[in-house]
Amino acid sequence: MLGRLNHVAIAVPDLAAASAVYRDTLGAKLSKPQALPDHGVTVVFVDLGNTKVELLEPLDAASPISGFLAKNPAGGMHHLCYEVDDILAARDRLKAKGARVLGDGEPKIGAHGKPVLFLHPKDFAGTLVELEQA
């Protein structure tokens, strides 16, 4: 069911500062910042060729990333995103196996313009998992 690792997401308190570290210190190629109001974040992608790192900054205090940063003020790894061929079939299979899909269970459009879902971290070794339609 799982395809390739699409990205590792890191929540950051300051997107510009985190971007500068990746760009200036590590020499990484970065995307332009992209606001995603439906997800409550602004993102920058670090291109690694075979996968990406997603830097996430909350848009406002209501963002789920604000809550994460309240517990982890310096930021940290937020989630892993895996690609799946058919997101609805993957969702239905996971739910049948007892996995919890967050939100209303319906895919939303993510940063890459493709449907995404999030799975409860308690069902996946304490790790928030995002699934993205390949």
**Active site residues per annotation:** 130
Phi-psi region at 58: left, alpha or beta (left = phi > 0; alpha = psi -120 to 50): beta
Query: Are 40 and 64 contacting, i.e. CB atoms less than 8 angstroms apart?
Result: yes
How far is C-alpha 80 from the geometric centre of its chain's CA atoms?
Answer: 6
Q: What is the DSSP code (8-state) at residue 116? A: E
Structural tokens at position 47 = 């291109």
